[in-house]
A and B are shown apart, each in its own frame.
Chain A
């Protein structure tokens, strides 16, 4: 069952069109990867899903149309976006950042419990809870960004290049946590990644984007063995 479906999705900035009629679906409870080279339109796709970019075409979330709706409203339906650049509130503390993630929730007790759970996944954030978020290292800000998104208790998480700027060991650790979260809490994930190898290890299925169009899709296993993908994105 598809949690999110996009049909004939066009998007762009001003006079420049970036996405040229994309079709894709995200299966509920699964991790889907969006691969492609720089400039293919991966970030634009995530932005289009959140209403951060003007779009044409249909986007359905749990059957409801969300294209054309405001970001704040889409978020309230349970879509959490971890943007490229992380979007940290640099002048607020780590804990304030996390609490803001739960801004729209009303269940005080669960929010506190979730906060502790985030500190459990990422102990380094607990150490820095009262520190100004802008002073955290790149990796820590990435953890903060993901935790903030999780504080929403989202149904769908959109992650834009979560491995960016992280040391390889940290990426392994991070993706492990993402897998755990997906399995335990049934959070559907849509991950944009340039690191195709790692993404295909984590994801159940993937889409390959080239200059704004989907050129290939399928389960990770199939894509891993595809010649074109191997040569262009897996390096062998």
Chain B
């Protein structure tokens, strides 16, 4: 191996290692509240990765992913509260539930393209809180009041080895582990055959079909997997916040998720993390800037980000790295063509 190839191979690994160490050290270094915020960032990142699988990689749009987040959250709440299932078991169960529901929703929804699919998912997103408030289901969902759940304690194992973890710290690590699992799973999925099939369907679906890719199956599967990710995020979110209620899962959540992946960067795994940071922290910043019209400031941030980085933070980062690597060359600068 030449020196050059060793360098290019090990730089991203080095970066990941540094980030990993920082992530593990974090809860011991910052306040409880910040740790909680970072837990939420990771939860959003999982949800955004789910939405990105659908929108970025397979080119379908969803304006209603908040509904799957809600489903995952309520799954956890109902399993814990009504059936006494331990918190850690509810997460994969919620994921499985959302996988099935997402797949079943995807099957007919496939017939719709673009805007029409957007409307269908939007309808789902709007319907969810209304369904959760519906009197007939109150026995299970707790109606408008919702369900309160207990915060899990760190396993007894930790104090025994001399590392006492308070619930917030334990929750952080539990979420960190879950996030790592989901991201590694996602990476393998998207960088392999499945990812290529999805991109083929997104870019040239007729050609993809002609090449033997079963469009219908892949698209529904993509929907299911995407719902599963968001459901897992919802489950973790419910555990973190210790509370589920219909008004926590309005269409606004679905819109924020969409904003998150666009600003973070579509069709990108790191984009989920950038997007999560944006939707968690920028509203706080906006609130600092103006108590009277915080959402206006948030909107301004959104516009600025889109103007400066139309392909998201991840896209901009990629461009910067590419430009840094291409300093030797001197390309002629002709912008894209217009075709009549």
Contacts and interface: CB of A to CB of B under 8 A. Distances in A.
Interface of A: 10-17, 47, 52-54, 83, 85, 87
B335 interface: yes
A164 to B, nearest CB: 14
A176 B337 CA distance: 34
Contacts of A15: 331-332, 334
Contacts of A52: 337-338, 340
B327 interface: no
Interface residues of B, number: 8
Contacts of A17: 332, 334
A100 to B, nearest CB: 14
A-B CB proximity, top 3 nearest? A13-B337, A12-B334, A83-B340
B334 A85 contact: no
A12 B336 CA distance: 9
Interface of B: 331-332, 334-338, 340
A32 B331 CA distance: 33
A53 B337 CA distance: 6
B334 A11 contact: yes
28 contacts: A10-B332, A11-B334, A12-B332, A12-B334, A13-B334, A13-B336, A13-B337, A14-B334, A14-B335, A14-B336, A14-B337, A15-B332, A15-B334, A16-B334, A17-B332, A17-B334, A47-B337, A52-B337, A52-B338, A52-B340, A53-B334, A53-B337, A53-B338, A54-B334, A54-B335, A83-B340, A85-B340, A87-B340
Contacts of B332: 10, 12, 15, 17
Nearest to A160: B340
A100 B5 CA distance: 59
A11 B333 CA distance: 10
A152 B338 CA distance: 22
A14 B333 CA distance: 7
